[in-house]
Amino acid sequence: MPDATATAKELLARLVAFDTVSAKSNIPLIQFVEDYLAGHGIAAQRVPTPDGQKASLFASIGPTGSPGLALSGHTDVVPVAGQSWDSDPFTLTERDGRLYGRGSCDMKGYLACALAMVPEFKRRRLQLPIHLAFSYDEEVGCTGVRPMIAELGKRLPLPRLVFVGEPTEMGVVDAHKGPVRWRVELTGRAAHSSMPHLGVNAIAYATRLIGELLLMEEELKAGDQDPRFDPPFTSLQITQIEGGTASNVVPVPCWFGWEIRGLPGFDPMQLDRRLKAYALTNCLPQMRRTAPEAAITIAATNQVPAYAADVASGIVPLTLKLAGQNKTNAVSYCTEAGLFQDGGAPAIVCGPGNIAQAHTANEFLSLAELEKCLSFLGRLADWAEA
């Protein structure tokens, strides 16, 4: 499909030119996609944020009234700050068969392919509709897709199958881990550091909690193993820490962050409960003996469900066939697939580009990957037509 390739490249150049770093509005990009679809006679629906600064977009091609196939991707990209690029990250630049630009791989390349195929999808006698489901704020905890998923089966049709086009080099990913992040805040009492018995040292108590977390980390390493993942267990990390105010003051504030990457089926809340119980029995009573105002709060700040493909949906063998693959993969990064699945729409992850290029300086998508993706979508249309 040489025409589709040219169209996809052109569309990718347009999409990359919108600076949709997660902190910024994606509305200009959404407006562009709406106009493009309208040009092909397709109406799209927005699911906007309350302040109207961002929106997801949902559109359908083909028959109405039957559950269809959704092509899903996020419109936001990670920042370029601090990265050294050889060309302007927001100007798609072709060099040696590669298309360079922020988001080319993760994942505007997939969006461009899906949009480029719209005229082809329209031409087909589709037996079931093909939906486009474009989200925002994926890169900041998969938060933007959630209001759209909440509308599926209500204002928007619930897709039968969802194809999440995160970069897999068109391999088939049928499982990923689920990240959960926590913020722990401790409040002690200030005192001159020469008179520590008059204060409560928040940093010292934070180290106790961290000690308990490090124990948990060791237990998780020795616990359930799934060799499809690297590392093959639920991992736990302390990710951030900050505390104290001066070199001669018993520190009042301390906070730290920790996260896990849970295997599918792992219950992250067991760790939440355990750390809270530890704080209640091993920290707070002692802290409050000196300072009744002492406090510890442990709050999950973001959770993306782990994902394992819904076997009964048939989406795995179908995607393997369409992608010309004979085995599936499991990955440690996360996607919106688990959220779609929890919302009642079985999902699979398969898209162009290599995750190694995502988020980096000189991010690129090879033309070969773009073409592989267009062929995949062509075969998907064949299947939807039959």
Give catalytic residue positions.
76, 138
Q: Contact region for Zn ion (CB under 5 A) — 12-20, 105-113, 149-157, 247-255?
A: 105-113
Taking alpha carbons only, the member of 110, 100, 154 closest to residue 133 is 110
Range in contact with Zn ion (rule: CB under 5 A) among 98-106, 127-135, 183-191, 293-301: 98-106
Q: How many CB atoms lie within 10 A of CB 320?
A: 18
Beta strands 161-164 and 347-349: pairing type?
parallel
Chain centroid to CA 151: how far?
19
Under rule CB under 5 A, residue 169 binds Zn ion: no
Strand 69-74 and strand 55-61: pairing? Answer: unpaired
Residue 292 CB-density burial (10 A; 0-12 exposed, 13-18 middle, 19+ buried): exposed
Rounded CA-CA distance 245/253 in Å is 8
Residue whose CB is less far from Zn ion, 166 or 212 = 166
Contact window for Zn ion (CB under 5 A) among 107-115, 156-164, 293-301, 325-333: 107-115
Is 107 among the residues that bind Zn ion (CB under 5 A)? yes
259 lies in the site for Zn ion, by CB under 5 A: no
349 lines the binding site for Zn ion (CB under 5 A): no
Find, among 163, 46, 59, the residue nearest to 118 by Cα: 59
Distance CA 115, CA 123 (A): 14
- Quote the tokens at residue 182: 């926590």
Q: Are 25 and 54 in contact (CB under 8 A)?
A: yes
Give the nearer residue to Zn ion in terms of CB position, either 115 or 200.
115
76 binds Zn ion (CB under 5 A): no
**Contact region with Zn ion (CB under 5 A), list: 162-170, 181-189, 206-214, 325-333:** 162-170
Cβ density class 186-215: b for 16+ within 10 Å, e for less: bbbbbbeeeeeeebbbbbbbbeebeebbee
Cβ at position 107, least distance to Zn ion in Å = 5
Q: Are strands 130-135 and 98-100 parallel, antiparallel or unpaired?
A: unpaired
Q: At 320, is the secondary structure helix, strand, or coil? A: helix
* Least distance CB 66 / Zn ion (angstroms): 29
Q: Which part of the chain contacts Zn ion (CB under 5 A), choosing from 20-28, 160-168, 199-207, 211-219? A: 160-168
Question: Within 13 A of 187's CA, how many CA atoms are on the CB side?
Answer: 9
By beta-carbon proximity to Zn ion, the closer residue of 157 and 179 is 179
Q: With binding defined as CB under 5 A, does residue 77 bind Zn ion?
A: no
The residues in 78-97 that bind Zn ion, with binding defined as CB under 5 A, are none
Residue type, 131: H
Instruction: List the x/- string, 110-149, binding to Zn ion by CB under 5 A.
Output: ----------------------------------------
Instruction: Return the number of the residue (107 or 162) whose C-beta is nearest Zn ion.
Output: 107
Q: How far is the CB of 20 from Zn ion (least distance, A)?
A: 12
How many degrees, rounded to 5, is the angle at CA 72 between CA 67 and CA 74?
150
| Interface stretch with Zn ion, choices 16-24, 42-50, 106-114, 215-223 (CB under 5 A) | 106-114
Nearer to Zn ion, 172 or 254 (CB): 172
Q: In terms of CB distance, is 13 or 142 closer to Zn ion?
A: 142
Report the C-alpha gap between 264 and 176 in whole angstroms.
Answer: 7
Position with the least CB separation from Zn ion: 106
CB of 253 to Zn ion, least distance (A): 35
217 binds Zn ion (CB under 5 A): no
Using CB under 5 A as the binding rule, whether residue 106 contacts Zn ion is answered as yes
3-state secondary structure of 353: coil
Q: How far is the CB of 333 from Zn ion (least distance, A)?
A: 8
Give min distance, CB of 376 to Zn ion, in A. Answer: 17
Q: Say how many residues touch Zn ion, by CB under 5 A.
A: 3
For Zn ion, which is the closer residue by CB, 105 or 296?
105
- Distance, in Å, from the CA atom of 269 to the CA atom of 276, rounded to the nearest integer, reads 10
Q: Does 363 bind Zn ion (CB under 5 A)?
A: no
Shortest Cβ distance from residue 166 to Zn ion (Å)?
5
- Residue numbers of the site for Zn ion (CB under 5 A)? 106-107, 166
